[in-house]
Amino acid sequence: MAYQFIIVERDGPITVITLNRPEVMNAVHSPMHFEMDQALAAFAADPEQWIGIITGAGERAFSAGNDLKYQASGGEMKSPPSGFAGLTSRFDLTKPLIAAVNGVAMGGGFEIALACDLIIAAETAVFALPEPRVGLAALAGGLHRLPRAIGVKRALGMILTGRRVSAREGYELGFVNEVVPAGELMAAARRWAGLIGELSPMSVRASKAAVMRGLDEPSLEAAIVGQRRYEAVAALFRSQDFVEGPRAFAEKRPPRWTGA
């Protein structure tokens, strides 16, 4: 499918989605919301695509978040049921997503990154939830994902001040997985994708589902008991990968995953 505001590339089992409005620091407006929704839905439905990477075009920004100038000029600001950038309310996506943050990740841009499973950041990356500075709030998941990632006190230290956090501090706080020189960002993101790609896709999806849904359970016991009800876990038990893994181990050969 042809897109105007994003770029979608496929490399083997990896889908790379690039937010492509560098002239406005990849700020998200209504048309981009819906293009992202379509691209992520296609990624989720494609059995040949196992891992996703989201990044931004240009050197300045991953995404500056909601396009306030577009909104102020009368542009319609609708988003799909899947949320900001077609992602922040897409709770049924079990395939792993990596955010390759190449610059500014502000407001909704930071919320896109937080909605991914891993964040790889260039040394030039900057993160913030500055919505209160313009009379808004980070209601696309930032107010809930950030405390879950780094703890309430640390998160409120960012949320209640709107302060900017460097990539290095993000790593120290715990929401960034790795910091690399800007020129090495995509190579690093692909390296992480490659490590994930060595594993059974069905196992990876089941593991992600169990972690994310388990966080919503009231107790550790409920999380452990309840995980067999998750569709991704049930799908693992029905899969060819569930048979192939032990067989390959017993035969002392690399497994041939099918993701089915």
pLDDT band, very low/low/confident/very high, at 78 (cuts 50, 70, 90)? confident
pLDDT of residue 242 exceeding 90: yes
pTM of the model: 0.96
Residue 179: left if φ>0, alpha if ψ -120 to 50, beta else—which one? beta
Kindly name the residue from 35, 131, 217, 231 that is annotated as catalytic: 131
Residue 26: left if φ>0, alpha if ψ -120 to 50, beta else—which one? left
Work out the mean pLDDT of the chain and round it to a whole number: 96
Kindly name the residue from 59, 111, 169, 221 that is annotated as catalytic: 111
Backbone angles phi, psi at 201, to 5 degrees: -60, -35
pLDDT of residue 68 exceeding 90: no
Active site residue 131: yes
Residue 27: how many other CB atoms lie within 10 Å: 23
pLDDT digits (tens, 9 = 90+) for 124-163: 999 999 999 999 999 999 999 999 999 999 999 999 999 9
pLDDT of residue 75 exceeding 90: no
Strand, coil or helix: 10: strand
Please provide the CATH number assigned to the domain covering 6-197: 3.90.226.10
Give the start-to-end residue ranges of the domains of the chain: 6-197, 201-250
pLDDT of residue 1 exceeding 90: no
Q: What's the pLDDT score for residue 205?
A: 98
- Are residues 56 and 26 in contact, defined by beta-carbon separation less than 8 angstroms? yes
pLDDT band, very low/low/confident/very high, at 97 (cuts 50, 70, 90)? very high
The residue that leads in pLDDT, 32 or 2, is 32
Rounded to whole angstroms, the maximal C-alpha distance in the chain is 64
Active site residue 244: no
